[in-house]
Homo-oligomer: A and B are copies of this chain.
Amino acid sequence: MALIVQKFGGTSVGDAERIRAVANHVARTRAGGNEVVVVVSAMGKFTDDLVHLAEDVSPSRTAREMDMLLTAGERISMALVSMALGAVGVESASFTGSQAGIITDTSHTRAKILEMRPDRIREALDDGLVPVVAGFQGVSTERDITTLGRGGSDVTAVALAAALKADVCEIYTDVAGVFSADPRVVSKARRLDKVSFDEMMEIAATGGRVLMLRSVEFARRHHVPLHVRSSFTWEPGTWIVEEDPTMEEAIVSAITDDTSEAKITVAGVPDRPGVAATLFRELANHGINVDMIVQNTSAHNVTDISFTVAKTELDAAIVACEKVQKDIGAATVTSDDNIGRVTIVGAGMKSSPGVTALMFETLYNNDINIEMISTSSIRISCVLRADRVADAVRHLHHAFGLDAE
Contacts and interface: CB of A to CB of B under 8 A. Distances in A.
Contacts of A61: 83, 86
A80 B57 contact: yes
A21 to B, nearest CB: 11
A87 B57 contact: yes
A123 to B, nearest CB: 11
A71 B98 CA distance: 15
Contacts of A273: none
A380 to B, nearest CB: 46
Interface centre among A59, A68, A94 (most CB of B within 10 A): A68
A58 B83 contact: yes
A84 interface: yes
A14 to B, nearest CB: 12
B60 A71 contact: no
Contacts of A78: 68
Contacts of A69: 75-76, 79-80, 83
Interface string A67-105: 011011101101110111011000001101001000000
Tell me the interface secondary structure of chain A in the complex: helix
A59 B89 CA distance: 12
A60 B87 contact: yes
A59 B87 CA distance: 6
Contact of A62 (B20, B56, B72, B82): B82
Contacts of A66: 79, 83
Nearest to A143: B99
B94 A57 contact: no
Contacts of A75: 68-69, 71-72, 75
Contacts of A71: 75
Interface in A327-368: none
Instruction: Say how many copies of this protein the assembly contains.
Output: 2
A165 interface: no
B56 A16 contact: yes
A68 B82 contact: yes
A68 B59 contact: no
Given A57-B20, A68-B78, A72-B72, A83 B62 contact: yes
A76 B399 CA distance: 52
A299 interface: no
Nearest to A95: B68
A16 B71 CA distance: 19
A85 B66 CA distance: 13
A226 interface: no
16 contacts: A16-B53, A16-B57, A53-B76, A57-B83, A58-B83, A58-B84, A61-B86, A62-B83, A62-B86, A64-B94, A69-B76, A69-B79, A69-B80, A72-B73, A72-B75, A99-B143
Q: Please provide the 6 A-B residue pairs with the shortest distance between their CB atoms, ordered closest to farther.
A: A69-B79, A58-B87, A16-B56, A58-B83, A68-B79, A72-B72
Given A20-B58, A58-B80, A64-B94, 20 more contacts: A20-B57, A53-B76, A54-B83, A57-B80, A59-B87, A62-B86, A64-B93, A65-B83, A65-B86, A68-B79, A68-B82, A68-B94, A68-B96, A69-B75, A69-B76, A69-B79, A69-B80, A72-B73, A72-B79, A96-B145
